[in-house]
Structure formats: C-alpha cells, structure tokens
Amino acid sequence: MLHQQTLLKMVGLIILIALLSSCSSVGIIFLPYGDLVRPALQQLDTENPLAADVALSPFNRYFPHELLYYVEAGRIAQIQGQISASQQYWMHVRGSIDQTDAGPLVDVSDLSQQGLALAINDKARDYMLPAYQKSFLHTFQAWNYLQLHQLDDASVEARQEAYGYQQAVNQNEAARKYIEKQVNRLSLDPKILDQAVDAQWIAAENIALPIYSFSNAYANFMNGFIFELKQQWNDALIEYKKALALNSTNLFIQKRTWRVANKLGLQSQVTALMSKPAKVTTAKKASSEIIVIYEQGWIPELESKRITVAWNQQVQSMELPTYRKPWAKQMGLSVQVDGHPESISQPLLDVYGLAIKSLQEQAKSRMIRQLLRVAVKYELNTQAQQRGGDIGLALSSMYGIVSEQADLRTWLSLPNTVHLASFLVEPGAHKIEWRDQTTGLTQSLALQSLAHHTQIIRVMNTGNRYYSQTVDYENSLL
C-alpha cells in the first residue's frame, strides 16, 4: 500500500483541486471535451466558416488540453485554407510530442503532472497523441507542404511517418512489459485486464481490425505518392505495397502500385498482394492524371463504459472510454468529367478501425492506472475514518467521484472515412463534378490539366458542405 507521506500529499492535491475547481484552467479538466470542440466543427458547416477558429474554445489552451487545442486548430485552419497557420499549430504539436511522449509508464509516488494523473484522473495529464493520430499529423502536415510546392519538406514528413510506425511498435512492446510488471506488483489475474480489451469489442462487431492502430493506408498512399514525385521508386513501392496490403481489393491502389513495380521490374511482388488483380491501363502519350482523395465527416465522440472487476477481495467498478456503437457506413463519391460518369471512389481508410484498435492497445494500461487509483482510494478511506473525521470522509468521497471518470478526449476533427479515386484525362480544360453517394451533396471544379502532370483534388465533407484543395505536380510516370 501507499506510504503515509505520499498519501498526505495526495490529500493535499485533492484539497487544492476542490479550491480551484471553479477556475477555468483547472475546472476545465472535468468538462466534456466534446463541448469544447463541437461548436467549431459545427461552424465549419455554416456560411461563416472562418468563425470556426473563434468558436474553438479558448479553454483548450490550458493544460491538460493544450496539445489537443493545437491539433484541432491546425486541422481547422487547414480545412479553411490557412496553410501557414496550420503549419505553425502543428509545429507546436511536434515540439510538445518530442518533450512529453514518454510512453505509458507512471510512478505511483510521482507527484508531477503524470503522477497527478495517476492520483486523480487520466484527464489531469497532458493529452498524448496515440500512434494513429501521430500518423495523421505527419500526413496532414505533408499536405500543407505539397500545397506550397515544398516537396522536400513533404518528403521529410513522409519519412517521419514511416519511421513512426516502427517507433510505435517499440512503444507497444514497452507498454506490454510495463503491464506485466504491474500485474506482478498488484498480484493481478491477467484475465482481469482482458475485460478492458473485451469492452471495446461491442463497438468493433463485424469490423476487420488492423494488426496495429497505426496501420494507416491513407498515410501509406500519400507517402508513396510523395516518393513517386521525388522519383524515389523503391521507397514509393514500399509504401504503396503497405497500402495495398491493407486494401487488397482497392483497384486504384492496385493500379498505382503495379505502375511503380513495372518500372522496377517487380510486378510479381504486387500481383501476390492483389485479391483480384485489376486490369492496368497504360497511360496514353501526353495524358494527364487526376486523383481524388475524399475525407468524410468527423470521428464520433468517445463515451464511457462502466465495467466491474474482482480484485483485492472486492468488486471494483471503473469507467473506460469506448465507442458504444459502430459508425455509420459511408458510400463515397461518384465522379463525373465534363458531364460524363468517370469513376466511383473506393475505401482507402476506415478511421473507425484504427480508433477502436487504439483503444484496445491502451485498455490494459488504462485499467492498471484505474486499479492503482482504487488502491489510493482504499488507503484514503482508511486514513479518513481513522484520523480525518467528517472532513476526511468528505474529501475521500470527492476523490472517489473524480477518480472514476473516464478520459473521453480524442482528436475530434479527424475524418470518419477516407475514399480514393483516380483516372486519366486528356490535357486541357475540364469540369470535374463529384456527388456523395450517401447524402447526394454535389460540387464541381474547373481544372486545367497539363500533359504528364498529376493533379490531386482533396475533398473534405463537413456534413452539409464541401471544402476542396488541389495540387498539381509533374509526374515522370505519365
């Protein structure tokens, strides 16, 4: 059990929270995170979208939401076309990640911010981007550089995203060892921790989950495209093959991967990854290419799920974050060129699968921290009964309420799903029109296509309106 000196420090922290809970910088910890972000996302869907950054709650600048404030603000700025502001927000995030991303390890005697999270609630610690969200951060920042035609900087982001995959694998292994250590320390039955993982399966029913939450086919595709533009063919093929391994039936990924493999004489490597090989069309002389990336909606807000476990000769109750029901399926886009049907997009990434897998990866560490708080609560109640009188009992009761709340923070401006389409056109002026197959929402765009160039149209659907951005690069494969 906890040392008396440590316990007294924790009681002091609880008193401090009681005194400061009415102050915005502390009381904000216990407000629903969605209430702070939802108004900004709703504003993007109106006729006055530039007010979205104002609607993003200024309370988010306070710890422990600071990191989330900057990722949300960067995403909102990027959607609005404020590329420089978006870059600056996400550079700040990168700096914070380098300083604070220390993995899941928490010392029960540590009364720094991480120790405060253990003693009080996970919401009292700085939000730490899970691996799949770091992957998005690199990909979105690469988009910023592509729009500014800073291809070398986009390539740096792509390589950092690829490196982050192995780093995340290593962190998962470190987390596993930490959990084993705590299981022995607390004399836990490992099956108890399995309940935390099983709690996520309700939402994951009929969903094919990836091996890792950071298996991001959107990032892989964009990495491959950037390396293709840099004529770094081997690196491009590696990334396209990763995307294809995650989407073996996606015809657009098949064709693109095969084109790069064909240049390297490695077609057999690609064919083995295709569940049903597509007919690959060779680019005509002086043709142009259009790629459509479609980001649909927002990821849902997390909800609490209460579970009970038998531990330390008692039945303990705790809350975990989860998605209570599967997300609505999206049908993607139909695309017309000059009034003629051209293409129907195919799924590139189901963000739901990554989010659920991420919760599963973090579930056991979350439960460990919950059980450690149970130990604190037990010791606090015992000391309160022996020495604290009515005041001590009141403090211990308040601690129990605060410590049992689930941490429902997550990056809410991420897309729900991502779709992909691509096709060849003759050089010249074209009218591209797209229609959401679920809602019927339409929009068109006039493009001037150049020979041997690839244009990417990035379409973002916020619910009732579209935002679109276009980049144009010469491509030696055409």
pLDDT tens sequence across 23-42: 444 555 667 888 888 999 99
109 in Cβ contact with 9 (< 8 Å)? no
Predicted confidence at residue 291, as pLDDT, reads 97
Q: Please state, in angstroms and rounded to a whole number, the distance separating the CA atoms of residues 163 and 108.
A: 32
9 in Cβ contact with 111 (< 8 Å)? yes
Strands (E), 180-219: none
Which helix or strand (DSSP H or E) is residue 234 part of? helix 233-246
Residue % of the chain over a pLDDT of 90: 46
Residues 6+ apart with CB under 8 A from 433: 335, 336, 339, 442, 443, 444, 445
Q: Which two tokens stand for residue 57?
A: 């709650």
Mean pLDDT of 131-141: 96
Identify the residue with better confidence: 58 or 39. Answer: 39
Which helix or strand (DSSP H or E) is residue 351 part of? helix 351-383
Predicted confidence at residue 66, as pLDDT, reads 83
Query: Domain span at residue 343?
Result: 4-474
Residue % of the chain over a pLDDT of 70: 75
CATH label of the domain that carries residue 274: 1.25.40.10
Predicted confidence at residue 278, as pLDDT, reads 57
Helix axes 351-383, 151-185, angle to 10 degrees: 40
253 in Cβ contact with 221 (< 8 Å)? yes
User: In 3-state terms, what secondary structure has residue 338?
Assistant: coil
Q: Please state, in angstroms and rounded to a whole number, the distance separating the CA atoms of residues 218 and 350.
A: 9
* Segment 256-276, tens digit of pLDDT: 999 999 999 987 777 777 766
Identify the residue with better confidence: 296 or 48. Answer: 296
Which helix or strand (DSSP H or E) is residue 37 part of? helix 33-44
Q: Please state, in angstroms and rounded to a whole number, the distance separating the CA atoms of residues 78 and 49.
A: 12
- List, in sequence order, every residue forming a beta bridge with 322; answer none if it has no partner: 303
Predicted confidence at residue 121, as pLDDT, reads 63
User: In 3-state terms, what secondary structure has residue 460?
Assistant: strand
* Segment 423-440, tens digit of pLDDT: 999 999 999 999 999 999
Predicted confidence at residue 188, as pLDDT, reads 81
> Does the pLDDT of residue 242 top 70, yes or no?
yes
- List, in sequence order, every residue forming a beta bridge with 290; answer none if it has no partner: 423, 455
Predicted confidence at residue 205, as pLDDT, reads 59
Identify the residue with better confidence: 55 or 102. Answer: 55
Identify the residue with better confidence: 403 or 53. Answer: 53
Q: Provide the CB-side half-sphere exposure for 311 (13 A, CA).
A: 25
* Segment 426-475, tens digit of pLDDT: 999 999 999 999 999 999 999 999 999 999 999 999 999 999 999 999 99
Which helix or strand (DSSP H or E) is residue 237 part of? helix 233-246
Predicted confidence at residue 132, as pLDDT, reads 96
Question: Which residue in this structure is represented by tokens 């009970």?
Answer: 308
Q: Please state, in angstroms and rounded to a whole number, the distance separating the CA atoms of residues 290 and 282.
A: 15
- List, in sequence order, every residue forming a beta bridge with 341; answer none if it has no partner: 336
* Segment 336-365, tens digit of pLDDT: 999 999 999 999 999 988 998 999 898 888
Q: Please state, in angstroms and rounded to a whole number, the distance separating the CA atoms of residues 217 and 229.
A: 18
What's the mean pLDDT when you consider all of the chain?
A: 81
Lowest mean pLDDT among 40-49, 237-246, 277-286: 277-286
Split at pLDDT 50, 70, 90, the class of 378 is low
CA 202 to chain centre: 20
User: In 3-state terms, what secondary structure has residue 47?
Assistant: coil
Q: What is the DSSP string of 355-381?
A: HHHHHHHHHHHHHHHHHHHHHHHHHHH
Residues 241, 205, 213, 57, CA torsion sign? positive
- List, in sequence order, every residue forming a beta bridge with 303; answer none if it has no partner: 322
Residue 384: name the closest of 401, 396, 398, 399 by CA: 396
Mean pLDDT of 285-296: 90
> How many domains does the chain divide into?
1
Predicted confidence at residue 184, as pLDDT, reads 85
Task: Tell how many helices (H) and how many strands (E) occur in the chain.
Answer: 16, 11
Within the chain, what is the greatest distance between any pair of CA atoms? Answer: 87
